[in-house]
Amino acid sequence: MGEPEAYARFEPLPADEAGELLRTHRIGRVAWHGINGLLVLPVAYAWHDGVIAFRTAPGGALARLTEATEIAFEVDDFDVETGTGWAVLVRGVAQGVSSPDEEAEWQARLPEPWAPGPRDLVIRVDPVITTGRVVVRA
């Protein structure tokens, strides 16, 4: 008989590894309950000192997050060929950055957004719970 097929299982990611994955990636998804129901939108973000931030346009859907709002934020990476990957989920509170010094610091750290047009409004996400898991083959 041949080799038994590998099976996949989920394993939790330690908090330091989840933070490292957030630090090394640039695109994530923000989910929140908007005025017309649940929304999930991709953003170009930065992770620094345990905080996530991203830019948006003042008139866009994400601009509503300037007011303190509970959100979920996810970053993941999967390899379809090997059936492996990982996901990090952050649950926290998003709100607009109001301090000019903090805004300037984030503007210097943030990657360029994918969406066209000015994206001058900085939203920060203060994590409450961060979890992650990795899919491994055994």
What sections of 40-135 are H helices per DSSP? Answer: 100-109
Tokens found for residue 62: 């994400």
**pLDDT computed for residue 19 by the predictor:** 92
Half-sphere exposure of 22 (CA within 13 A, CB side): 29
Range in 2-6, 94-98, 106-110 the model is least confident about: 2-6
pLDDT, the chain, mean: 92
- How does pLDDT run across 14-69, given as a tens digit for each residue? 989 999 999 999 999 999 999 889 999 999 999 999 999 999 999 899 999 999 99
Tokens found for residue 67: 């007011």
Report the top-level CATH class of 8-137. mainly beta
Q: 55, 120 in Cβ contact below 8 A? A: yes
Helix, strand counts (H, E) of the chain? 2, 7
How many residues does this entry show for the chain?
138
Q: Report domain extents, the chain.
A: 8-137
- Mean pLDDT, rounded, for 60-85: 94
